[in-house]
Structure 1
Amino acid sequence: PLFFCRKYFGEKIAFYFAWLGLYTEFLIPSSVVGIIVFLYGCITIESDIPSKEMCDQHNAFTMCPLCDKFCDYWNLSSACGTARASHLFDNPATVFFSIFMALWATMFLEQWKRLQMRLNYFWDLTGLEEEEEHPRPEYETKLLQKKLKTKNIATENSDEDEKEKLTWNDRMPGYAANFGLILFMVMLTFSAVFGVIVYRITTAASLSFSTNETTRSNVRVTVTATAVIINLVVILILDEIYGVVAKWLTEIEVPKTEKTFEERLILKAFLLKFVNSYAPIFYVAFFKGRFVGRPGHYVYVFDGYRMEECAPGGCLMELCIQLSIIMLGKQLIQNNLFEIGIPKLKKLFRKLKDGRTEAKKMDNNQSKNPQQWDLDYTLEPFTGLTPEYMEMIIQFGFVTLFVASFPLAPLFALLNNIIEVRLDAKKFVTELRRPDTVRAKDIGIWFNILSCIGKLSVIINAFVIAVTSDFIPRLVYQYAYSQNGTMHGFINHTLSYFNVSHLKAGTQPENSLFAQDVLFCRFKDYREPPWSKNPYEFSKQYWSVLSARLAFVILFQ
């Protein structure tokens, strides 16, 4: 079918389907390995010592309150479900999978270069040289306005016309508008993420005040689920806005040729959508729970609201939830429903709009038998391959950048792409007007973007494993602090002591349900105990773990 696609649509569109087909094929082995990694977590969950220690009610780890006044002390064993769920994705197999996916991305790009060269040979493109493109009409209009403004009206001398061009000063207003508006859009994305953070903090505090025991016990689940849905809705809305804004910003730059216009549009749209899609995930992966302070010295925002903390099992489980819902939501709603639904709606609207004209023609017997081109007029005009590539490149980022937290990402991407190939084929044949055939030797600037994402994925996965997961703390404990070289005692090792008498006035739990008086509570951090010379300062274990994390990031590269 690829060769028929090339004959009907041209090489440029055929290269897109060739790339999409190869990408989908490469997702098969990564999906299989991801399933194996996930099953490994399911099989070893019963033998995971830290999870068993956290679930053991006999350990009686009394934890410090999660909020001021209205939250009570609690037993760590109550977070057993979270600990067991975290092990599904936070286990030694995820490190292997991260290394595998880094190699997978490199192999995919190399294999695509080979396929691209073969197609160049079969399609007789090896000797294709790019012809000098004609200037865009918008560029020539701008150039004519410049000539009229400077009273240098064009003459019949073609040499003088060729020398005339738009200078950097002519484009300065467009560049300034681009810089200012792109910066504003990026800040808008960060503001949306911050707004969701505020929602999480305030909602968690409000639900903690509830008199309903079920509500209080499910605060974390409720806040996480609703916040992720809000993030998804905001991402979908801003994605549509950013697509329009990127096109407008590129137009005011007045690029000279269509190729330059397309490349600048791609870079702007990718930058905005990259920040929009991944900003909430970056927050959970690298910032959440890092700036909460400690008992007796918490960090507060907005008049008494404590910064949110990670779950007792760590932030990796929440990162997995965030990534899976955003990825699946974008694929289901944006990539599938919008991709087919919007062209059909526009086609219907165009039919209704032209219905009166057609009725008049029929009444006047002007066109009793409409021709095919009349029927094709109701189809949606072809606007380029940028939206098609963009959704796949963003998906490629989901599959590679944070795969350490969600090994099933390649599987969901594979299932989506199997549907995506057929939807794209149906859309190009039945929903869009036939585009002009364009010869091309490659996929253009998209390959450079893929290469950058592949390199960035190595760095990000290294930091996810080193900073977000408990892989490094467990290794340090097992080989440096464990008395018998096992993970027994790991949970106690990661919990610090806090003297409850050091709580600030007005923050102690009211109406505590604990029968005995609590003298010390525990919190997750590596700090000196209150009876040491330097109470609550970072301990030697903290610096050992930090050094090991930095060493792992360097070695992972």
Structure 2
Amino acid sequence: MFPMKDLCSDKVLGLYFSDGKRRVDYVLTYHIQKSGSTRRHKRSSRAPLQPKEDPEVAAQEHQTDYHEDDKRFKRDEFEENLQKTGLELEKDEGSTIPGVGFLKIHAPWNVLCREAEFMKLKMPTKKVYEVKQGSSVVEKIRMFIHKVTAPLHPKVDTSRAQCQKPLSHPFSREKQHLEWMDGWMDINNIYIFVACDIFIESCFCSQLLYEQWASYSVFYKYQPIGLIRKYFGEKIGLYFAWLGVYTQMLIPAAIIGVIVFLYGCATVDDNIPSMEICDPRNNITMCPLCDQACSYWKLVTACGTARASHLFDNAATVFFSVFMALWAVLFMEHWKRRQMRLNYVWDLTGFGEEEEVLMPSIVCVCVCVCVCVCVCVCVCDEKVKLTCTDRLPAYLTTVVMMGFMIIVTFVIVFGVILYRISIRAALHMSSHPVVRYNIRATVKTTAAIINLIIIIILDEIYGAIARWLTRLEVPKTDKSFEERLIFKTFILKFVNAFTPIVYLAFFRGRLVGRPGNYLYVVGSYRMEECAHAGCLMELCIQLCITMLGKQLIQNNLFEIGLPKLKKMLRRRKSEMVSIQEPVPHKTLKRYEKDQLLGPFVGLNPEYMEMIIQFGMVTLFVASFPLAPLFALLNNIIEIRLDAKKFVTELRRPIAAKAKDIGIWYNLLRGLSKVAVIVNAFVIAFTSDFIPRLVYQYMYSPDGTLHGFVNHTLSYFNVTDFDPGTEPLQPMHLGYKVSVCRYKDYRDPPWSSTKYELSKEFWAILAARLAFVIVFQNVVMLMSDFVDWLIPDIPKDISLQIHKEKILMVELFMKEEQGKRFAARDNQDNCTVPLSANQRPPQPRSRPVSQANCS
């Protein structure tokens, strides 16, 4: 990272062409390589006694020279095309960084105006109107909140409402109602030719961002969204605005989650099922958890697990699930309103898809060259088109590879299951009492850590595979490429992150069988069971380790460590080349300093990280109410971490317009809908909420939960064990066991239908299914009602947009009247000769203030 003062002190070197007048607007970087004769001469001068040159080496150098000449020819052709568009170029191949050349580009004023018309860039009109503040109670409350939260706003926040807002209209040099662009900064703050940290004004903005946004000391303040948009463009500005809204909405969710967790802590001593499990007087003997190596055990030994499960499996979790479903809807509605307000302030209300396509040709070509895209989306020749037959092999490859990767994920999860089964059996055979006592905790923790490591590794692999598959499909536009890439990456990473969690929530403990008739996989491996208190505790541990691990290791550590490591390697490589090819000591120019920074790879990794976190927060929140709190703490750090990375570690990206967050909104909306169904099944099938209700209102003699634990346990006669599966130490408890208990709803061995599913099982299953249907429909209905109740566009914004349309119509009418009067005056005065003091009208040119800047 370069100190901000050093970046801003270099006001001359690298900011202008060699004439000192024309300002550098953009810089392209390319690699230069010395000719083969020069390399051979240097090699011979360093090693004069070297034997005769190898023919293969000479052929390889000749081929390298050929490729270098071909690249040089393509660069020359590209530069000619740039000059034909009116741009002015200057090369710098004698830079301090060996092997790197720079092409400096200056955009004259007439080119900027022409491209602004092509882009339909909005400029302010000559009419400015007052935005009147209402005197209603709502407005007074808003002003009071603004005064209270004033210390939380940064000093450079230009996105807040102002008393004056100019009208705007797509720029045209023929429109008289538009303000002339009096100031180089007015257009270059939005124009796409702004170079990375080239302008002095941009350097000042970067310093403000570094102090008021990228510093951890201002973590409690709002983000300067207006300045972020001004420096990075609307697309990046919308990302940080969305991240800020998401983090802000996590505050009430985290508070409610902590209250639910504290409620579980406060009521754990009054929980009747936990008290019955922990009561040693019950003397309940449980069946072995594995074949042969495991022996009979007392239910009282599961006291700690039962008490811990109550912290997350209580009546408050149902309320919290409903709350989080409504919270997701409120978050989406709040973001839509915030997005509409930003669109209005940033003059994006009329920005459409056709304007996104009409980008200047220089930008599209530069992007294609920088990312090495073989098929340029800006080619206007439509003679060559890819038919469905041409794309069919790529689509088939995508389907096969996606299916294969999903199967690989399932296989890896199954491998972790086998690890848990085998390590549990091995630990049970240990002679150390400490090891045998902590078997369950050891297996849970190590398996969760292994899952985390696998998720992190597969995330990187799946991201590369998704990009490769998307390139095979050859999408027409950059937007189509990005949407397909996002969809593939989301599917693979979502399956990778949530497959272990889904297994723990819905499958573990249900594919076990019963004593005497267990289900085995891969030979003699018996499927694992849940603890008596259920699998909710293990699900909570898996969610906790996955969230903390992904956020601390994969996201934050990688975002801090990898950019710094790559930057150090680039600097080291540059120093090594400088030693081999010494150059005179020079002060690094601005674009040479930027060359040592990391490239901007897009916002997809940032969005994907938050989308997966949103899934963790909403999908299984019934089992882990502290998930919003962990997400909030992570995002507070994430915002400043991303800010520091964008300001100091990455090259300034090309500013891009966008009116929304694109396909990410649809993914968020889909996750919020799926979350309702998932939480309904978690409450109904994973927790004991429904069995407790059924017992309390159907089977309990006194209407309480006394006797619930005994009701959930079935009987098994130990003489019915399959040969070779009975415990090797049947006297482990000090007495002979004739009947053991296991958690299931089955008939006892003395029944005529022994070990068959009992009537209680079917009654509870019916209640679970009924709860899923009722919960899903009620929550969906409430969510749709909230969605309908809250308008997408704030009322004040809709009124201002309507008022602007009326004012623009008035301006157009006045301008047309002025043109008619001017035409009539010209007809009357067309025969009048010019006086000596009069000069013919001159065409509009670049203002004097702009000419001085160049």
TM-score for the superposition, normalised by structure 2:
0.62
Query: Does structure 1 retain, via aligned residues, the 8 Å contact 2:290–2:526?
Result: yes
Which residue number in structure 1 is paired with residue 413 of structure 2? 193
Query: Does structure 2 retain, via aligned residues, the 8 Å contact 1:496–1:526?
Result: yes
Which residue number in structure 2 is paired with residue 392 of structure 1? 610
Query: Does structure 2 retain, via aligned residues, the 8 Å contact 1:207–1:216?
Result: yes
The reply on whether 1:425 has 2:643 as its aligned counterpart is yes
Superposed CA offset, 1:429-457 (max 9, x none): 00000000001100000000000000000
Q: C-alpha distance in 2, partners of 1:346/1:389? A: 22
Q: C-alpha distance in 1, partners of 2:655/2:293? A: 67
User: What residue identity is the alignment partner of 1:25?
Assistant: Q
Residue 343 of structure 1, CA deviation: 1.1
Residue 139 of structure 1, CA deviation: 11
Which residue number in structure 2 is paired with residue 540 of structure 1? 759
Q: C-alpha distance in 1, partners of 2:738/2:758? A: 21
Structure with larger Rg: 2
Change (3 A) 1:36 1:345: same
Residue 133 of structure 1, CA deviation: 5.7
Q: C-alpha distance in 2, partners of 1:369/1:72? A: 76
Query: Does structure 2 retain, via aligned residues, the 8 Å contact 1:205–1:305?
Result: no
Which residue number in structure 2 is paired with residue 54 of structure 1? 277
Among 306, 329, 345, the alignment partner of 1:122 is 345
The reply on whether 1:242 has 2:462 as its aligned counterpart is yes
Query: Does structure 2 retain, via aligned residues, the 8 Å contact 1:528–1:536?
Result: yes
Residue 302 of structure 1, CA deviation: 2.3
Which residue number in structure 1 is paired with residue 265 of structure 2? 42
Q: Counterparts in 2 of 1:163-312, with a 5 A limit? A: 163-312=383-532
Deviates more, 1:217-226 or 1:26-35: 217-226
Superposed CA offset, 1:348-388 (max 9, x none): 11111122444577x543x6121111000011111110000
Superposed CA offset, 1:383-417 (max 9, x none): 11000000000000000000001000000000000
Among 544, 549, 558, the alignment partner of 1:338 is 558
Which residue number in structure 2 is paired with residue 148 of structure 1? none
Q: C-alpha distance in 2, partners of 1:296/1:357? A: 72
Q: Counterparts in 2 of 1:465-480, with a 5 A limit? A: 465-480=683-698
The reply on whether 1:513 has 2:513 as its aligned counterpart is no
Superposed CA offset, 1:135-168 (max 9, x none): 8869995699xxxxxxxxxxxxx99x32431111
The reply on whether 1:462 has 2:680 as its aligned counterpart is yes
The reply on whether 1:442 has 2:660 as its aligned counterpart is yes
Q: C-alpha distance in 2, partners of 1:469/1:496? A: 19
Which residue number in structure 2 is paired with residue 91 of structure 1? 314
Residue 32 of structure 1, CA deviation: 0.3
Query: Does structure 1 retain, via aligned residues, the 8 Å contact 2:483–2:663?
Result: yes
Among 747, 750, 758, the alignment partner of 1:528 is 747
Return 5+ residue gaps in structure 1 as ranges.
145-157
Report the 3-state secondary structure (helix = DSSP H, G, I; strand = E; otherwise coil) of the residue aligned with 1:507.
coil
Which residue number in structure 2 is paired with residue 413 of structure 1? 631
Residue 66 of structure 1, CA deviation: 1.1
Residue 304 of structure 1, CA deviation: 1.6
Query: Does structure 1 retain, via aligned residues, the 8 Å contact 2:294–2:425?
Result: no
Report the 3-state secondary structure (helix = DSSP H, G, I; strand = E; otherwise coil) of the residue aligned with 1:522.
strand
Q: C-alpha distance in 1, partners of 2:552/2:733? A: 47
Superposed CA offset, 1:233-252 (max 9, x none): 00000001111111111111
User: What residue identity is the alignment partner of 1:125?
Assistant: L
Residue 79 of structure 1, CA deviation: 0.7
Which residue number in structure 2 is paired with residue 82 of structure 1? 305
Report the 3-state secondary structure (helix = DSSP H, G, I; strand = E; otherwise coil) of the residue aligned with 1:496.
strand
Which residue number in structure 1 is paired with residue 809 of structure 2? none
Among 540, 549, 554, the alignment partner of 2:768 is 549
Residue 116 of structure 1, CA deviation: 0.4
Q: C-alpha distance in 2, partners of 1:520/1:449? A: 52
Q: C-alpha distance in 2, partners of 1:116/1:320? A: 35
Query: Does structure 1 retain, via aligned residues, the 8 Å contact 2:313–2:688?
Result: yes
User: What residue identity is the alignment partner of 2:400?
Assistant: G
Residue 222 of structure 1, CA deviation: 1.0
Query: Does structure 2 retain, via aligned residues, the 8 Å contact 1:143–1:166?
Result: no
Query: Does structure 2 retain, via aligned residues, the 8 Å contact 1:193–1:280?
Result: yes
Q: C-alpha distance in 1, partners of 2:467/2:262? A: 45
Query: Does structure 2 retain, via aligned residues, the 8 Å contact 1:143–1:165?
Result: no
Which residue number in structure 1 is paired with residue 9 of structure 2? none
Q: C-alpha distance in 2, partners of 1:275/1:76? A: 36
Change (3 A) 1:143 1:432: closer
Residue 461 of structure 1, CA deviation: 0.5
Q: C-alpha distance in 1, partners of 2:255/2:591? A: 47
Residue 341 of structure 1, CA deviation: 1.1
TM-score for the superposition, normalised by structure 1:
0.94
Which residue number in structure 2 is paired with residue 20 of structure 1? 243
Deviates more, 1:242-251 or 1:383-392: 242-251
Residue 507 of structure 1, CA deviation: 1.9
Whichever structure has more helix as a proportion of its residues is 1
Deviates more, 1:517-526 or 1:404-413: 517-526
Superposed CA offset, 1:237-296 (max 9, x none): 000111111111111111111111110110011000000000000010001011110011
Q: C-alpha distance in 1, partners of 2:373/2:286? A: 70
Deviates more, 1:502-511 or 1:106-115: 502-511
Q: C-alpha distance in 1, partners of 2:583/2:245? A: 53
Query: Does structure 2 retain, via aligned residues, the 8 Å contact 1:109–1:451?
Result: yes
Deviates more, 1:216-225 or 1:116-125: 216-225
Query: Does structure 2 retain, via aligned residues, the 8 Å contact 1:200–1:223?
Result: yes
Which residue number in structure 1 is paired with residue 225 of structure 2? 2
Residue 58 of structure 1, CA deviation: 0.6
Superposition RMSD in Å: 1.8
Q: What is the count of residue pairs matched by the alignment?
A: 541
Q: C-alpha distance in 1, partners of 2:312/2:626? A: 10
Q: C-alpha distance in 1, partners of 2:372/2:471? A: 9
User: What residue identity is the alignment partner of 2:553?
Assistant: I
Q: C-alpha distance in 1, partners of 2:541/2:352? A: 48
Report the 3-state secondary structure (helix = DSSP H, G, I; strand = E; otherwise coil) of the residue aligned with 2:714.
strand
Q: C-alpha distance in 2, partners of 1:308/1:371? A: 64
Q: C-alpha distance in 1, partners of 2:549/2:321? A: 24
Query: Does structure 2 retain, via aligned residues, the 8 Å contact 1:235–1:277?
Result: yes
Q: C-alpha distance in 1, partners of 2:425/2:373? A: 60
Residue 74 of structure 1, CA deviation: 1.2
User: What residue identity is the alignment partner of 2:423?
Assistant: T
Which residue number in structure 2 is paired with residue 402 of structure 1? 620
Residue 549 of structure 1, CA deviation: 0.4
The higher relative CO (CA closer than 8 Å, separation ≥ 6) is in: 1
User: What residue identity is the alignment partner of 1:415?
Assistant: L
Report the 3-state secondary structure (helix = DSSP H, G, I; strand = E; otherwise coil) of the residue aligned with 1:162.
coil
Query: Does structure 2 retain, via aligned residues, the 8 Å contact 1:139–1:255?
Result: no
Q: C-alpha distance in 1, partners of 2:419/2:434? A: 20
Return 5+ residue gaps in structure 2 as ranges.
1-223, 777-854
Change (3 A) 1:45 1:254: same
User: What residue identity is the alignment partner of 2:476?
Assistant: K
Among 677, 700, 725, the alignment partner of 1:482 is 700
Change (3 A) 1:133 1:519: farther
User: What residue identity is the alignment partner of 1:467?
Assistant: F
The reply on whether 1:106 has 2:329 as its aligned counterpart is yes
Change (3 A) 1:141 1:237: closer
